[in-house]
Amino acid sequence: MRDIMSTDVVTVSIDATLATVVDNLLDNGVGSVIVVDADETPIGIVTESDVLRVARELDEPLSDIGVDDVGHPPVVTTAPTRAITTVARLMTDEGVKKIPVMDGIDLVGIVTMTDIVWRLSALRQEASAMADLRAEWSPE
């Protein structure tokens, strides 16, 4: 995970508004922000789609809508030592496209489905090279 995750994770506190979320999304050129509690522990995630959905449903100014109104289930996390394929399966099983990376209690990165897709080609090349090596060393 360490080789594909982004370490510049954008966070907002649980008491932030969606206006603050949008500012962070646009200012940092990201598609999501991690919601953290007072101890900087990830407790949720807000995506661009979440902002649009909630804004449409509530029809209120973004500055009047708190991130706690987004109502995400508990955030799915992973460790930096997990295999890319394991994290891809986790994303599929949980129906998420972005997963914060935790090293113990520390937020150290985020990995997205886009990160995994970009890495997929390299993984296929590695697998092919390993298969070729196996064929060279196998008794005929």
Q: Quick check: is 1 in a domain? A: no
Instruction: Say what the pLDDT of residue 63 is.
Output: 96
Instruction: State the DSSP string of the chain.
Output: -TTTSBS---EEETT-BHHHHHHHHHHHT-SEEEEE-TT--EEEEEEHHHHHHHHHHH-S-GGG-BGGGS---SPP-B-TTS-HHHHHHHHHHHT-SEEEEEETTEEEEEEEHHHHHHHHHHHHHHHHHHHHHHHHHS--
Q: Quick check: is 5 in a domain? A: no
Average pLDDT over residues 39-58: 92
Instruction: Say what the pLDDT of residue 140 is.
Output: 61
Q: What is the pLDDT of residues 6-38, one digit of tens each?
A: 999 999 999 999 999 999 999 999 999 999 999
Share of the chain above pLDDT 70, in %: 96
Compare 60 and 69 and report the one with higher pLDDT: 60
Q: Indicate the residue type of 37.
A: D
Instruction: Say what the pLDDT of residue 119 is.
Output: 80
In whole angstroms, what is the distance from residue 43 CA to residue 73 CA?
9
Q: Give me the number of domains the chain comprises.
A: 1
Q: Quick check: is 2 in a domain? A: no
Q: What is the pLDDT of residues 67-87, one digit of tens each?
A: 988 866 678 999 999 998 899
* pLDDT confidence tier of residue 138, bands split at 50, 70 and 90: low
Pairing mode of beta strands 32-36, 11-13: parallel
Average pLDDT over residues 101-116: 92
Domain span holding position 19: 11-137
Q: pTM score, two decimals?
A: 0.79
CATH of the domain at 109: 3.10.580.10
